[in-house]
Amino acid sequence: MTPHARLPDPTGHVPLPVLFDDCRTVRAHGELDLSTMAPLEEALRRARTGTGRLCLIVDLSAVTFVDGSLLAPLCEAWNDCRARHGWTRVVYTRPATALVFRVSGLAGRFPGYACAQDARQGIVAWSVPHLARGGAA
């Protein structure tokens, strides 16, 4: 798991990060399945340390494969954040990832966001809502 990096603009200036005291981001990469899930589970636990309101963004944009083993840790994070008057939002746009959420019945709980900034602002990716209603993957 790596922190979300901010790249310099064309002039070489690196923008300052937007500060969100109660919003944390966990970024995963590669393949996520039962044999590779432990680092993500640990990162999700660490992100939820402390007290108070918590908003959590789980960025799966660099994930190339995911199966149902992702669902239990995400639901645990969602329950924890919700109990703390926050939310858990997931960044993904790949149809195969959307299919995992749709088949599990969790597409409504975890709609896809195109990027972390959209997730912070609650702007759902255009392709996911029709999948949540039963459209083709």
pLDDT at 5 over 70: no
Q: What is the mean pLDDT of residues 68-78?
A: 97
26 vs 34: CA distance, rounded Å: 18
Rounded Cα distance, 9 and 74, in Å: 33
Entry pTM: 0.78
Residue 15 has pLDDT above 90, yes or no: no
Q: What is the pLDDT of residue 22?
A: 73
pLDDT value of position 20:
53
Which of residues 4 and 77 earns the better pLDDT score?
A: 77
Eight-state DSSP code of residue 68? G
Q: Give, as one character, the DSSP assignment of residue 13.
A: P
Assigned token pair, 49: 């340390």
Backbone dihedral region for residue 120 (phi beyond 0: left; psi -120 to 50: alpha; all else: beta) = alpha
pLDDT higher than 60, residue 42: yes
CA-to-CA separations, 98 to 69, 117, 127, in angstroms, rounded: 14, 19, 9
